[in-house]
């Protein structure tokens, strides 16, 4: 059992209704209802950056679609899920935010993450370049207001005009400001971190690269003592050596994210990512027109397995990066660890690190 602060081998967990009552090492204090002799038990995964799955996307703002996404990822161990929205027109973004905010109230979603529209046209990735804009104070205010307290994170390019003011306004409103899709220099990124930014969105991807004479945002984020860095562990976005480099530099601040789009837990085919058409072939999502990588088809279970088995990272650190660290990054209470008083969310893994069972708020999930 990886809590993840400690490893109990063997270990036990006592669940009462939707909460963890106690955890411990060795023989359980009373006979177990469920005995899992060769399993590894980890906290339910926390996915901080995800756009879709199971064939559906959050971008529609449709509650049925959002439920499909959450259910698809739940079957792969994600018990706490954010809703990330790609760049869209101001009105449709505001509408989606309003509709999805209700699902945060209902407990389906942990919060909302806006990825855009305040992104650099030089690192646009899979976002529609025609819909990018500068963060004008009234637009920032309108989206904070539309989310009704449920906007948890905004990814923006801090070097844009008004970027640092937006970072200050967002953090003052309790929203995590994340540096991403950015052409920021090292100094720009330092200024954003000084202004309150605390996350690097999918580090290395869609940002100015790491160069020994122009270290850029990557070095500013990696050397910062408190900044979290998101990493996409699918073997497509990052070479395993780069994943290792970043994860070992920040053992308590590395966060695995899926950045999954609709094809995750669904299969190859033609999909949409916001207003953009995406082709998925052999599990790799690319924009239909430019061929740019357009999110991943990861589940958190696959990311954890890749980070341990292919990148060779220690399981305790990988589990922390998929559970306690994203919870801390987002300021989410009582999820992301096997601790008394925390939500009874756990994942049972077999020897191949495949998910065999998921407990969500005290109930075993049917994974049919
Ligand atoms: Zn992105
Ligand atoms: Zn994304």
How does pLDDT run across 167-208, given as a tens digit for each residue? 999 999 999 999 999 999 999 999 999 999 999 999 999 999
Q: How far is CA 105 from CA 111, 148, 206, 341, in A?
A: 9, 10, 32, 21
CA of 73 to the centre of ligand 2 (A): 16
Q: Which ligand is nearest to the CA of 157?
A: 1
Q: Is 259 among the catalytic positions?
A: yes
Catalytic residue among 88, 139, 259, 345, which? Answer: 259
Question: Ligand 2 centroid vs 341 CA: distance in angstroms?
Answer: 32
| Strands annotated E in 215-268 | 228-231, 254-256
CA of 14 to the centre of ligand 1 (A): 39
Length in residues, the chain: 368
CA distance 80 to 324: 11
**Ligand 2 center to 362 CA (angstroms):** 30
Distance in angstroms (rounded) separating the CA atoms of residues 309 and 233 = 11
CB 115 within 8 A of CB 85: yes
Which ligand is closest in space to the CA of residue 50? 2
Kindly give the confidence (pLDDT) of every residue in the chain, 368 residues in length, as a single tens digit, with 9 standing for 90 and above: 999 999 999 999 999 999 999 999 999 999 999 999 999 999 999 999 999 999 999 999 999 999 999 999 999 999 999 999 999 998 999 999 999 999 999 999 999 999 999 999 999 999 999 999 999 999 999 999 999 999 999 999 999 999 999 999 999 999 999 999 999 999 999 999 999 999 999 999 999 999 999 999 999 999 999 999 999 999 999 999 999 999 999 999 999 999 999 999 999 999 999 889 999 999 999 999 999 999 999 999 999 999 999 999 999 999 999 999 999 999 999 999 999 999 999 999 999 999 999 999 999 998 76
Look up residue 216 and give its two tokens. 């850029």
**In whole angstroms, how far apart are CA 178 and each of 47, 238, 291, 305, 334?**
15, 19, 25, 26, 23
The alpha carbon of 22 and the centre of ligand 1 are apart by a number of angstroms equal to 38
- Of 196, 199, 234, nearest to 217 (Cα)? 199
pLDDT, tens digit (0-9, with 9 covering 90-100), for 142-160? 999 999 999 999 999 999 9
Distance 300 CA to ligand 1 centre (A): 17
Cβ pair 358, 348 in contact under 8 A: yes
Separation of 88 CA from ligand 1 center, angstroms?
13
177 contacts 197 by C-beta, under 8 angstroms: yes
Q: Which two tokens stand for residue 249?
A: 């530099």
**How far is the centre of ligand 1, averaged over its atoms, from the C-alpha of 366 (Å)?**
31
Q: What is the pLDDT of residue 367?
A: 74
Ligand nearest, relative to CA of residue 120: 1
Distance between CA 282 and CA 96 in Å, rounded? 30
Per-residue exposure over 260-298, b if at least 16 CB sit within 10 Å of its own CB, e if not = bbbbbbbeeeebbbbebebbbeebbbbbeeeeebbbbbb
Give me ligand 1 centre to Cα 203, in Å: 10
Nearest ligand to the CA atom of 119: 1
**Which-ligand-closest: CA of 293?**
1
């Amino acid at each position: 059992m990886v809590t993840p602060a400690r490893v109990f081998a063997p270990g036990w967990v006592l669940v009462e209704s939707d909460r963890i009552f106690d955890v411990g090492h060795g023989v359980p204090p009373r006979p177990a209802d469920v005995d899992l002799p060769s399993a590894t038990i980890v906290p339910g995964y926390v996915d901080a950056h995800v756009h879709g799955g199971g064939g559906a996307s959050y971008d529609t703002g449709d509650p049925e679609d959002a439920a499909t996404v959450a259910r698809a990822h739940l079957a792969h161990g994600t018990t706490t899920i954010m809703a990330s929205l790609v760049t869209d027109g101001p009105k449709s973004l505001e509408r989606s935010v309003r509709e999805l905010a209700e699902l945060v109230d209902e407990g389906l979603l942990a919060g909302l993450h806006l990825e855009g529209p305040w992104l650099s046209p030089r690192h646009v990735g899979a976002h529609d370049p025609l819909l990018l804009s500068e963060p004008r104070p009234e637009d920032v205010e309108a989206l904070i207001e539309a989310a009704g307290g449920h906007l948890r994170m905004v990814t923006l390019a801090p070097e844009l005009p008004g970027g640092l003011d937006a970072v200050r306004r967002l953090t003052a409103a309790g929203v995590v400001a994340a540096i991403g899709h950015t052409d920021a220099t090292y100094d720009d990124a330092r200024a954003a971190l000084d202004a309150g930014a605390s996350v690097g969105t999918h580090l290395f991807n869609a940002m100015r690269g790491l160069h020994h004479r122009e270290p850029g945002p990557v070095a500013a984020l990696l050397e910062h003592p408190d900044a979290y860095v998101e990493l996409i562990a699918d073997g497509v976005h990052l070479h395993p050596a780069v994943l290792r480099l970043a994860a070992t530099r920040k053992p308590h601040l590395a966060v695995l994210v899926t950045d999954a789009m609709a094809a995750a837990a669904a299969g190859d085919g033609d999909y949409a990512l916001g207003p953009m058409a995406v082709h998925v072939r052999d599990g790799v999502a690319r924009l239909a027109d430019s061929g740019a990588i357009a999110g991943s088809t990861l589940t958190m279970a696959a990311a954890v397995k890749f980070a341990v088995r292919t990148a060779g990272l220690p399981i305790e650190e990988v589990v922390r990066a998929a559970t306690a660290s994203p919870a801390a990054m987002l300021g989410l209470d009582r999820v992301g660890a096997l601790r008394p008083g925390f939500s009874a969310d756990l994942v049972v893994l077999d020897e191949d690190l495949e998910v065999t069972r998921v407990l969500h708020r005290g109930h075993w999930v049917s994974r049919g």
